[in-house]
Structure 1
Amino acid sequence: MIDVARLADVSTSTVSHVVNGTKTVREPIRSRVLKAIEATGYTQHAAARSLRRDRTESIGLVISDSGQPAFADMVRGVEEAARKAGLVLLLANSSEDPQQELRAIEALQSRRVDGLILARAARSTDAAIEWPKAQGVPLVLLDRLSNLPLDQVGVESEAAVHTLVTHLLQLGHRRIAITAGNLDVPTLRERYSGYERAYADAGLPVDPSLVLTGVGDEEETEALVRELLQRPDRPTAIVGASSPMTVGTLRAAAGLGVRIPEELAFVSFDSLPTPDLLRSPPTSAEQPAREAGREAMRLLLRRLAEPDAAPTTVRLAARLSHRASCGCGYPERPLV
């Protein structure tokens, strides 16, 4: 608090009034204090202290698939930020089941968590959002966003896949398949939209037979891609829309002896944990999952400290990593 007061050129009592809302602080002093709080990173600690009276100092996180590397990184980001704020994280996994999601939310609320972060399940219902709101529990959506006025943070998926597919089109590929997965999942639907938009921008039609949908796990993807690669008109390139679908695609290609990138170009959204161990590491759009988790926690702390603040939506950019699998002479030729 002393650092904030010094930077804002005010007393520590003024900072306390702004943080805790115990007294009206006039503009522009209040704005100056808020800027100093942001600059010094004091907000998290101040918000945590504001919870200590009549609070449990615990935060709930419901994740849709804790087995996926991206979600595991999001959990780490949330936990790191919660720990720095002096809060305990309670974790539940819905396993992509809307009913299990509701049970997890109810269980966390029964433990009187001070706030909730939700990465929604596929086919999640509005009840998952309405129930916490009705109970007065602050809620932040993570990864799978909503059109409702809520605090939420996610990765910009559509633009990243658009860039990857455009890159393949510029390399001369026209028959580009995508393992699209479950299009009921908002993030996967966004990634498919990026694929569609890249074709539209190139003035080319999408071949529906090259769009592989389904559950989107490793086993199903391997079976679908194996069948696809045995067709006489098989694709010359494939886009993997998630880490599990990337694994399934690479297994199918390896099982059939199809060499990447010599016989099949490949790009993916999200990277594998150790891509450089592969013969042809995938060119990929890597989502800043841990940063997304930290950002979700920051939004929740802000909501706890400022209950009447306007809802905030944060979109983080994916990082494009150009490797060997697209077959364009890596590293000489960059992505678009």
Structure 2
Amino acid sequence: MATIVDVASLAGVSTSTVSHVLNETRHVEPETKERVMSAVKATGYRRDVLARSMRRARTDSIGLVVSDAGEPAFADMVHGVEEAAAHNGLSLLLANSAEDPARERAAVEALLDRRVDGLILARVAGSTAGLLERIRKEKKPLVLLDRLADLGGDQGQVDQVGVNNQAAMAALVDHLTSQGHERILLVSGDLRVSSLRERYDGFRAAMLTKGMAVPPELLCEGTVTAAATFDRVRPLLATPSGRPTAILACSTLLAAGALRAVQHEGLRVPGSIAFATFDGFTYSDLFQPQITTVRQPAFQLGESAVSLLLQRLENPAAPATILRLESRIEFRRSTSNSSTN
């Protein structure tokens, strides 16, 4: 295995010059730097990254824990984090908590054991304050991603980045009510998830602003799988007299279950019922009809999370930052008045 001495000998420089070139700790003339890098390539020399990180008290790595890396919005967030990390010379360690608090805790512990420089966390439903305290005790910078929290007290000093869920929901309600819809079924899922709770609250506030009551049977809460959502939504569509005229799903998974119920009951979108969702599906342009969708700036959320983490590493005592990015609504045929639009 090649050593730094081999590199220095081949380049005709001292070992300290090689170190300065590789670690960028001092200016080295371009010609000398080129000779050193050519020698590194020729000898196949690899730096002892672990030893270097111990000297610097940094590992140049960050950890990311999300609840479902396969869900389209989270997948884009992961890509955003990955791209921003690579641009800043950081390695990314990714864990999937599968919406399980125990797996989330285990993932965080594993990342702390690997001495990551900081953590980005999309908290699971049922995540405990104790987990944040554990991270705090390790003095690790933390950014909460997508699922923002009103932590209060000392724990309120946590950087967070998410979207303006209530504004997007208000725009959807305005769109549907302008089409004449009054009986709108909200499929909101697990309200322990802060982003789903914000969409739920945004829906109720927007309907109240319109002077429209929301019957309890049109608030489908608590389902965490597509199958469970199907089972809850299907009976609501079975009776024409009480059937909603529009459905709003608060996530991709919830939309899948609700759409299956629509199909099971032989209803047409938008002819029989209008349909809109948050987050949407991969290759959604292949759907017929195309579905009105609230698109999160998911990639930008991931990039922003890394930016906040780097700022915290540089200035640990700075006040906490909470960013809210704006979503984009794609109005498609599924909420049009005519199936031929």
Is the TM-score greater than 0.5? yes
Letter in 1 for 2:149: S
Q: Which residue of 1 aligns with 2:157?
A: 149
In the alignment, which of 58, 70, 75 is matched to residue 67 of structure 1?
70
In the alignment, which of 302, 318, 321 is matched to residue 330 of structure 2?
321
C-alpha spacing 1:54/1:126, structure 2 compared with 1 (3 Å): same
Matches within 5 A, 1:180-219: 180-219=188-227
Once residues 144 and 339 of structure 2 are traced to their aligned partners in structure 1, the CA distance between those partners, rounded to angstroms, is: 37
C-alpha spacing 1:74/1:331, structure 2 compared with 1 (3 Å): farther
In the alignment, which of 101, 106, 125 is matched to residue 104 of structure 2?
101
C-alpha spacing 1:183/1:241, structure 2 compared with 1 (3 Å): same
In the alignment, which of 277, 289, 292 is matched to residue 283 of structure 1?
292
Deviations 1:256-295 (A, max 9, x none): 2200000001111122111221111111111011110110
Once residues 336 and 255 of structure 2 are traced to their aligned partners in structure 1, the CA distance between those partners, rounded to angstroms, is: 17
Q: Which residue of 1 aligns with 2:319?
A: 310
Letter in 1 for 2:301: A
Q: Is the 8 A contact 1:50 1:305 kept in 2?
A: no
Once residues 329 and 87 of structure 2 are traced to their aligned partners in structure 1, the CA distance between those partners, rounded to angstroms, is: 30
SS at match of 1:325: helix
Residues 1:230 and 2:207 aligned together? no
C-alpha spacing 1:53/1:331, structure 2 compared with 1 (3 Å): farther
Residues 1:125 and 2:128 aligned together? yes
In the alignment, which of 256, 260, 263 is matched to residue 247 of structure 1?
256
Q: Is the 8 A contact 1:60 1:117 kept in 2?
A: yes
SS at match of 2:285: helix
Deviations 1:81-130 (A, max 9, x none): 00111111111111111122111111110110010001000011101211
Q: Is the 8 A contact 1:117 1:139 kept in 2?
A: yes
SS at match of 1:144: coil
Matches within 5 A, 1:8-157: 53-147=56-150, 148-157=156-165
Q: Is the 8 A contact 2:53 2:60 kept in 1?
A: no
Q: Which residue of 1 aligns with 2:35?
A: none
Once residues 91 and 55 of structure 2 are traced to their aligned partners in structure 1, the CA distance between those partners, rounded to angstroms, is: 12
Number of residue pairs aligned between Structure 1 and Structure 2: 284
RMSD: 1.9
Residues 1:162 and 2:165 aligned together? no
TM-score, L = length of structure 1: 0.81
Q: Which residue of 2 aligns with 1:10?
A: none
Deviation at 1:328, TM superposition (A): 3.1
Deviation at 1:64, TM superposition (A): 1.4
Once residues 307 and 264 of structure 1 are traced to their aligned partners in structure 2, the CA distance between those partners, rounded to angstroms, is: 52
% same residue: 49
C-alpha spacing 1:311/1:331, structure 2 compared with 1 (3 Å): farther
Once residues 284 and 93 of structure 2 are traced to their aligned partners in structure 1, the CA distance between those partners, rounded to angstroms, is: 31
Once residues 138 and 180 of structure 1 are traced to their aligned partners in structure 2, the CA distance between those partners, rounded to angstroms, is: 32
Once residues 213 and 320 of structure 1 are traced to their aligned partners in structure 2, the CA distance between those partners, rounded to angstroms, is: 23
SS at match of 1:308: coil
Letter in 2 for 1:146: A
SS at match of 2:108: helix
Deviations 1:201-237 (A, max 9, x none): 0112111101111233221112222221102411111
Once residues 217 and 155 of structure 1 are traced to their aligned partners in structure 2, the CA distance between those partners, rounded to angstroms, is: 23
Q: Which has the larger radius of gyration?
A: 2
> Structure 1 segments of 4 or more deviating over 6 A?
49-52
Q: Is the 8 A contact 1:180 1:216 kept in 2?
A: no
C-alpha spacing 1:77/1:289, structure 2 compared with 1 (3 Å): same
**Where do 5+ consecutive residues of structure 1 fail to align?**
1-48
Deviation at 1:50, TM superposition (A): 11
SS at match of 2:167: helix
Q: Is the 8 A contact 1:51 1:57 kept in 2?
A: no
Q: Is the 8 A contact 1:218 1:244 kept in 2?
A: yes
